[in-house]
Structure 1
Amino acid sequence: MTEILSLTPPDRPRLLDPGRPGREDLASYLATGGYPAAPAPERLVESVAAAGLRGRGGAGFPTAVKLRTLRDAPGDTVVVANGEEGEPGSVKDRWLLRHRPHTVLDGVRLAARTTGAVRGYVYLSDPQAADAVRRALLERPPTVPVDIVLTEHTYVAGEESAVVRRIDGGPALPTTKPPRPFERGVGGAPTLIANVETLARLALLTAHPDAAVAVASSHLLTLSGGPAPSVLAEAPAGTHLGTLAGHAGRGGSAAVLLGGLFGGLYGDGWAGLRLDHDELVAAGGALGCGAIHFLPPGGCPVGAAADAAGYLAAQSARQCGVCVSGTQALAGTLAALARGEGRHEDTGKLHRWSQGLTGRGACGLLDASAHIAATLLRHFPDRVRAHEDGPCPSCADAPPPDGSRLGVTVP
C-alpha cells in the first residue's frame, strides 16, 4: 500500500491536494482555474524561466530552454507528454495520469501553443492511466490532435530516443545521439519530450501566476524502503531529507538510495541534504525523478547496491555490448559480495568499472549501474571490505537480488 502526504502549505497550489480525492473530471479541474486563456508564447516562456521550472523526468533540465528551442525550430513541431517511468521506485507519473489527467493535458495544450506544435502524444505503459486520459480527452477535445501511445513497461522505454522510436512504430529502445529529439524527433519533426509532472506544473503555474515560483520549486516524491508503507509526497524545494524521512516513518534510516537508481547511495550526512538539484549533484547524488529509497535500520548498503545493479542488468536493452557485459559484471560482483562470496580483488574491479564504464552506452542505464558501484565504494568502504570475509546478517537472510524489493504500488 502507498500513502499520500503533502508537505506543501495548504495556501499554495499543489498537485497532491487532500481536498481533491479521486480522479479529476473536467468540472473539478475548471473549478480550480484549469484551462485558462493561454498567455502569448514568449510571455509564457519568460514566466517559466522566471519561475525556474526544471524537468521532472530525471535530468532537471530548464523547461524554458526546451520551450524556446522548439519555438525557434523550423517547420512543424510535436509535443510528447512522457508518462513512462521506468524507475521501479517511482509512482508519481502514473498517479498524475490516473488522477490528474486534465492537469497534464492542460500542460500539453500550453506547450503546444508555445512551441507551435501541430500534434501531441501521451506516452505511457499503464492501462489505467491510458483510460483516464481517454476519458479526459472525450470530456474536452484538445486544441491540437493528441494521441495515446502505449508501450511496454521497461527501464529504458522512457528514454527520449526510445520514446521517439516507439511512437514512430518501432521498439521502445534507445538510439545513438545526435540527433536529439529537439533536432529530429517524431516523424522527423523537432519534438519536445516533457515529463508529465513537468507539464502538470506548467499548467499549475499558468493558472496561478502569483505562486509560480512555489509551484515550480515543489516536487512529487516517492518515498519507500523498510516495513513502513510507501509514500507519494509533495514537498517544497529546500526540504531536508531527514524531514521527509520523519514524516514518512523512516527517521531511523542509515542510508538512502537517491533520485531513483541513477542517484546512487548516500551514507553519513544524508539527513542534512535538501531537495535541491544543484545541492544533490554537488554531493555526488541526484534528485532525478524524486524516488528516494531509505535503507531501514540494519539494512545493508551492499545488499541494496546488489539489488539495484541486478535490476539494471536485467533491464538492459541488449543493444550495446559494453552495456550487456558491464551491467552483468557489476551485478554479478555485487551479488557475490552480498552473499559473502566475493574476493579481495573485487573492490578494485568495481572501482575500475565504476570509472571506466560511464558514458559508454547509448542511454543512461550503464551509467546508473556504474554510479551505484561508485557511491557504494565512496560512502561504505568498510561495509564492502567486511563483505569480502562473509555476508552480514541482513544480506544472509535476503532473497536473491533482483530489484523486486525496490518496487512501489500506485496509490
Structure 2
Amino acid sequence: MENPSLLPLLDARLPLTEEKVAEAARLAGVPLAQAWGVVRYYPRYRGLPQGRLLVDDPVARARDFARLRAGADGSYPPLGLEALSPIYLRFTPEGRFVEWQGRLVSFRDFRLPFNLGRGKHLLPPEPILSLAQYRALGGLQALAALLQGGASPEGVLRAVEEAGLLGRGGAAFPAHVKMRAVARGAAPKYLVVNADESEPGNFKDRFLLEHHPFLVLEGALLAALAVGAERVYLYVREEFEAAQESLQKALGELEEAGLLPVPMEVFRSGGLYICGEETALLESMEGKRAEPRLKPPFPGEKGLWGRPTLVQNVETLANLPLILREGPGTWRAREPKLFSISGDVAHPGLYELPLGTPLGEALRRAGREPSELQAVLLGGAAGVFTRDFAFPLRFKERLPLGAGAIVAFGPAVDLWEVLLGLVHFLKEESCGKCFPCPLGTAVQVEMVGRRERNPALVRDLAETLKGSLCGLGQSASWAYQSLLEVEGAA
C-alpha cells in the first residue's frame, strides 16, 4: 500500500469540512472527486440521525413495531442486538449510546451479555480478555507449534482440508480452497478478517470479538502464516466499538509477548450491509464506495490493492486453533457451529451446536417447542421463513443456513410486518451499482406493503433480482417467496 487508506484519514478528521476532505484526499493519493463520492456514500460522513432511535430488527418488527417506533425519534438498522430486542439507542453530539437496564452505555463500553453464550468449544467458560486467561485454556498451542517448527504451513492447509471446514460467513465455501489459492500467489499477500457482521438476526461474530478475541487472532495468525500473508487486517463493523477495543488490547498483549509474527491492524468498516460482501469490503478498504467487483478475478488472485488476498469470516478463523489442537478428525466428528437464536424463545442467545442438529432441537435448546411457533426466519434478510422443524441445520441443504441466524415467531406475530422490515432494509442497503437490485428491491417494498400474494408477480420479481451482481440482490426475494409458501402450507 503506497498511501494510507482514505476511510481512516476521513475518520480522523470528523466532523468534515471541505478543507479536511481535500487534505484526506491528498494524503490518500486519490482524486478529490473520489473523496467526495466516498463522503456522500457512507452514512457516518453524511451525518447520522440524532436522538432516540429504535433498532429496526426482525424481533422489534414482531413486537408491535408501530407502538415501539412511536416512542423514538427515528430508527437504526439491525445491530446484532436481537437477543435483547426491542432496544433503543441514543445518538447525541457527545457520542452513541445503548439504552440498557435504565442507563445509557456508550458503544465503546457496551458488550453483549456474556450469559447469552451457550457452548464449550468455540465459546469460553468466561470472558477471555487477557493473554494469561487464553493460555490457561490451552490457547496459542497451535501458533507456538507453527512458530517453533513443530508444524508447517502445508500442515495447516492440510488439516483445514481434512477437517472439511466450510466458511461460516454464509457462503459455505471450502476454507482450504481459498487458502491454497492465496498460498500459490506471489508476494505481497494479505489476509482480511471479515467482521462486518450486518445480517439481521446474527450476533455470533460480535460475541466472539467482544468475549474471545485471542481465539480469533490466533486463527487469523495461523491462516496468515499458512498462506504467506505479510499483513492482517481486521475489518470490524464500525459500530462494534467494544469489539474494536477488545482486539486492540489483545493485539497489544500479543505484541508485548513477542507473539505477533505478522503485523495486524484493526480497520473500521464502511458501516453498510454491502461491506460484508468480500469484494465490496476490499473496495472500501481501498478508499472507494463499497460496490461489489465483477468476478473473476477472485480476491485470492487479485484482491486488496491488486494482490492475492484471503478474506475469511470471524467464526471460520476461530475454528483453526481448535482443528490444529484437537486434530481434524476429532473436530469433524462434532463440527461445531454457532447459531444466533432470538425472537419468541425463552432463552435467546448464541448456541454452539453440531452441524446437522434439527431446527426443532435448536429451538428446544432455546426454550420453545416448535409446535407453538408460527414460523422461523432462517438465515436473516438473505434467508427464508420456514416451518420445517425437522430440517437439519447444515450447509448445502434445501434451505439456506446463511451465517446461522434463527429468529422464532409465535402465533400472534404479523409475519408481513416482519417481512416489510426486511425488504426495507435490503432496499436501503443496496449499493445501486447494478440495475436489477435497486429496481427490484424498491418494487419489492411496494409489493410487500400492499401484501401482494400473486405468485406470478413474485416470480417475475425474483427473476429480475437474479440478475444482480452480488448476493444482496440475488437473495433479496427469498424471504418473500418463502412467506407465501408458509402461508400456503398453513
The interval holding the TM-score normalised by the smaller chain is 0.7 to 0.9
Q: Does 1:265 align with 2:385?
A: yes
**Displacement, 1:214?**
4.3
Secondary structure at the counterpart of residue 114 of structure 1: helix
Within the candidate set 369, 372, 376, 2:476 is matched to: 369
Secondary structure at the counterpart of residue 331 of structure 1: helix
- 1:50-105: CA deviations, max 9, x gaps? 11111000011111111111111233211111111110211111111111111111
Give me the CA root mean square deviation: 2.0
Q: What is the alpha-carbon distance in structure 2 between the residues aligned to residue 225 and residue 332 of structure 1?
A: 26
**Displacement, 1:23?**
3.8
- What is the percent sequence identity of the aligned residues? 34
Q: What is the alpha-carbon distance in structure 1 between the residues aligned to residue 317 and residue 192 of structure 2?
A: 10
Instruction: Pick which of 220-229 and 156-165 moved more.
Output: 220-229
Q: What is the alpha-carbon distance in structure 2 between the residues aligned to residue 202 and residue 48 of structure 1?
A: 7
**Displacement, 1:227?**
6.7
Q: What is the alpha-carbon distance in structure 2 between the residues aligned to residue 91 and residue 175 of structure 1?
A: 27
Give the TM-score of the pair, scaled to structure 1: 0.83
Alignment partner, residue 32 of structure 1: 137
1:260-299 equivalences under 5 Å are 260-267=380-387, 270-279=388-397, 283=398, 285-299=399-413
Gaps of 5+ in 2: 1-83, 85-112
Give the partner amino acid of 1:114.
A
Runs of 4+ displaced beyond 4 Å? none
Within the candidate set 274, 282, 288, 1:156 is matched to: 274
Give the partner amino acid of 1:314.
E
Q: What is the alpha-carbon distance in structure 2 between the residues aligned to residue 5 and residue 104 of structure 1?
A: 16
Alignment partner, residue 336 of structure 2: 218
Preserved CA contact (<8 Å) 2:129 2:246: no
**Displacement, 1:256?**
1.5
Give the partner amino acid of 2:266.
I
Preserved CA contact (<8 Å) 1:26 1:136: yes
Gaps of 5+ in 1: 384-411
1:5-404 equivalences under 5 Å are 5-6=117-118, 14-17=121-124, 19=125, 21-36=126-141, 37-38=145-146, 39-125=151-237, 126-141=240-255, 142-209=260-327, 211-214=330-333, 217-226=335-344, 228=346, 230-251=348-369, 252-267=372-387, 270-279=388-397, 283=398, 285-337=399-451, 342=452, 346-358=454-466, 360-381=467-488
Residue 227 and residue 234 in structure 1: after superposition, are their counterparts in 2 closer, same or farther (change >3 A)?
Answer: closer
Q: What is the alpha-carbon distance in structure 1 between the residues aligned to residue 138 and residue 429 of structure 2?
A: 41
Q: What is the alpha-carbon distance in structure 2 between the residues aligned to residue 382 and residue 328 of structure 1?
A: 28
Preserved CA contact (<8 Å) 1:151 1:172: no
Secondary structure at the counterpart of residue 67 of structure 1: helix
Q: What is the alpha-carbon distance in structure 1 between the residues aligned to residue 423 and residue 485 of structure 2?
A: 16
Give the partner amino acid of 1:81.
V
Alignment partner, residue 399 of structure 1: none
**Displacement, 1:382?**
6.7
Secondary structure at the counterpart of residue 275 of structure 1: coil
Preserved CA contact (<8 Å) 1:351 1:377: no
Preserved CA contact (<8 Å) 1:355 1:374: no
Preserved CA contact (<8 Å) 1:86 1:158: yes
Q: Which has the higher contact order (CA 8 A, sep 6+)?
A: 1
Secondary structure at the counterpart of residue 380 of structure 1: helix
The count of corresponding residues between Structure 1 and Structure 2 is 362
Secondary structure at the counterpart of residue 302 of structure 2: coil
